[in-house]
Amino acid sequence: MFKIFVDGEAGTTGLQINERLAKRDDVEILHIDPELRKDAAERAKLINASDVTFLCLPDAASKESALLCTNPKTKIIDASTAHRTNPNWAYGLPELSPEFRQKIQTGTRIANPGCHASGFILGVYPLIAAGLLKKSADLATYSLTGYSGGGKKMIATYEAEGAQISHPGESPRLFAPRPYALGHHHKHLPEMQLICGLTKSPIFNPVVGPFYKGMAVSTAIFQSSLSKSATAADIQNILAEHYAGSRFVKVLPYEEEPTLDAGSLNPTECNGTNEAHVYVFGKGESIQVSVIIDNLGKGASGAAIQNMNIALGIDEGSGLSCF
């Protein structure tokens, strides 16, 4: 029986991890007295008593918790941004390459990827690894996300009575999707750039909409950024080959005239799963890669549990099929 502690168990990500773990009989969950949830000594006790600790905390608290861990056997999986570009931590996206998977398997420090970053990297990394997309590529990406990505505070704002209602003659603040991070320094940019090995940051526009969860991350691939000319179908082939055999990442067939439901991409189609759906669109020289995930699934707690399974040497999909 593996002992698991979720530091930040009352937050959005922590609750979701606990929900998944509660259905398993191979783990024992160590709970903290809610009154002591911010007490460093109490957290240290539980972290060091665990086989795996999930950090579902703001960055500063995550850094503090990681330093509280003195048990060399305890594996830490951090859901925050704090350690994602730290070379001493494994980056928790095992589908990228056998090396990424192996670091998760053997290390004791695993950084769970950001949700937008997961969508971006899943689409872009294989194209760079194949030598088609230049590391110096100019990339423009937008991500349409549900509001649960903003944690407890944003959920409360969106779910306040009347907040999402559009009144005729008024300017509704939350009804229409809202582009944000317009200062162009979103916190996921460093991991997007580092993990893909890009020499410059993409231009990244996240957009939050009035739906709870689900995310579609779309990246424009310009011919000038390719080492040789390629079509959308070529790019789909590379991605399909890269993820062949992957349990959770599915590359959909290329369609010149997409016949998706109602002719549009549905950011919620992976909700309740740990899957990522990868699409390639475009015609002639114009190419777009779109990745759909559940921001709370493959974008957060699903990925965290998948990483735990890999780190503990148990079946990768344990506890994930019961979402």
- 286 φ, ψ to 5°? -95, 115
| Segment interacting with ligand NDP, rule: CB under 6 A, options 52-60, 129-137, 156-164, 246-254 | 52-60
3-state class (DSSP) for residue 166? coil
- What minimum distance in Å lies between the beta carbon of 294 and ligand X2W? 11
| Segment interacting with ligand NDP, rule: CB under 6 A, options 6-14, 229-237, 285-293, 313-321 | 6-14
- The residue written with tokens 């020499």 in the block is 199
Q: Does 37 bind ligand NDP (CB under 6 A)?
A: yes
Q: Does 187 bind ligand X2W (CB under 6 A)?
A: yes
Name residue 307's amino acid.
Answer: N
Q: Does 8 bind ligand NDP (CB under 6 A)?
A: yes
Q: What is the dihedral of CA 148, 167, 178, 92, to 10 degrees?
A: 10
Name residue 297's amino acid.
Answer: G
- What minimum distance in Å lies between the beta carbon of 296 and ligand X2W? 9
- The residue written with tokens 């990868």 in the block is 278
> Is the separation of the CB atoms in 289 and 283 below 8 Å?
no
- The Cα 42–Cα 113 span in angstroms is 27
Q: Per-residue DSSP letters for 190-213?
A: HHHHHHHT-SSPPEEEEEE-SSSS
Q: Does 145 bind ligand X2W (CB under 6 A)?
A: yes
- What minimum distance in Å lies between the beta carbon of 220 and ligand X2W? 20
Residue 8 or 282: which CB sits closer to ligand X2W?
Answer: 8
Catalytic: 322? no
- The Cα 164–Cα 228 span in angstroms is 47
Catalytic residue among 115, 196, 270, 322: 115
- What minimum distance in Å lies between the beta carbon of 146 and ligand NDP? 8
Q: Does 192 bind ligand NDP (CB under 6 A)?
A: no
Q: Does 299 bind ligand NDP (CB under 6 A)?
A: yes
Which of ligand X2W, ligand NDP, none does residue 12 bind (CB under 5 to 8 Å by kind)? ligand NDP
CB atoms within 10 A of CB 256: 10
Interface positions with ligand NDP (CB under 6 A)? 8, 10-14, 37-38, 56-59, 61, 79-81, 115, 148-149, 151-152, 295-296, 299-300
- For the annotated catalytic residues, the residue numbers are 115
